[in-house]
Amino acid sequence: METLTLRPAETDAGARVDAWLASRVEGLTRSAAQRLLEEGRVLREGKPLAKNYRLAGGEELEVSLPDPEPIEAAPQDIPLDVVYEDGDVIVVNKPKGLVVHPAPGHPDGTLVNALLHHCGGSLSGVGGALRPGVVHRIDRDTSGLIIAAKSDFAHQALAAQLQDHSLARTYECLALGRFREDSGTVDAPIGRCPADRKKMAVLPSGRPAVTHWEVLERFSARPGPGGLQGGTCAHLRCRLETGRTHQIRVHLSHIGHPILGDTVYGAKKPVPGLRGQCLHAAGLRFVHPRTGEAVELSCPLPEEFRAQLRELAGRS
């Protein structure tokens, strides 16, 4: 059993403790946080807290995490493009089409299955039986860098960096429409779409979400069928300040610039030669949980992204 000592900020005052724990401890769902509270595993000054306790801000909480559940996802020999690995963390360049963890409809053949085989079962258990080691996720049809933890110690340290933004993620994408500014920020809360539970949306009741973007190159042409908004397109770099589900896709669609190929969030048609959205997690920066040194990694754009850039350059 592992015990965490957490101290909510003054700005967290008024938040429900179960919701706060779910946002603070990566991989811990709100229902799992409620179970911890029901079992008396969350203490303030030695006394168990109720599920509906609201934070005062600044108090010290002790959270006792149970021993990891037995890993239920099975190891599978799936090739991995390993960008960085040591005894604490592993970073891989995930290809498009690879689901991160088992879920309904995807019981195996996932990145987690591949990591279990590659790491010999040495992954943190904080994420539970089906998400061992998973610190953050990227969509199935988004390629690029994703980090996993090999121990609970590393997992908790990296999860804390997600909260304080010292774990930085940079993406590149092709977005439709004419960008008049060279850079900008989308600060708009994101929540589950009430009309379609499989989608996310900008909602007043959503969780805070901030995306910074900058234009790397503008194109006067659009790439084949599926283009939108006057036949223009731009190559963007996006930096996440928060990490909501589908955040970049939702935010760019919200400002009228859906990602090329993203038919879920506004692109009209799929693009020949492109599977899903043209979005790539190109950069990752974090503080190593054991050494305290900065680690900065990058990976090249996938071929189908580069092919779209060549086509755009040739038609502009």
Q: Which of 139, 141, 152, 262 is catalytic?
A: 139
| 139 given a catalytic annotation | yes
Write out the chain in H/E/C secondary structure. CEEEEECCCHHHCCCEHHHHHHHHCCCCCHHHHHHHHHCCCEEECCEECCCCCECCCCCCEEEEECCCCCCCCCCCCCCCCEEEECCCEEEEEECCCCCCCCECCECCCCHHHHHHHHHCCCCCCCCCCCCCCECCCCCCCCEEEEEEECCHHHHHHHHHHHHHCCCEEEEEEEEECCCCCCEEEEECCEEECCCCCCCEEECCCCECCEEEEEEEEEECCCCCCCCCCCCCEEEEEEEECCCCCCHHHHHHHHCCCCECCCHHHCCCCCCCCCCCCCEEEEEEEEECCCCCCEEEEECCCCHHHHHHHHHHHHHC
Annotated catalytic residues are 139
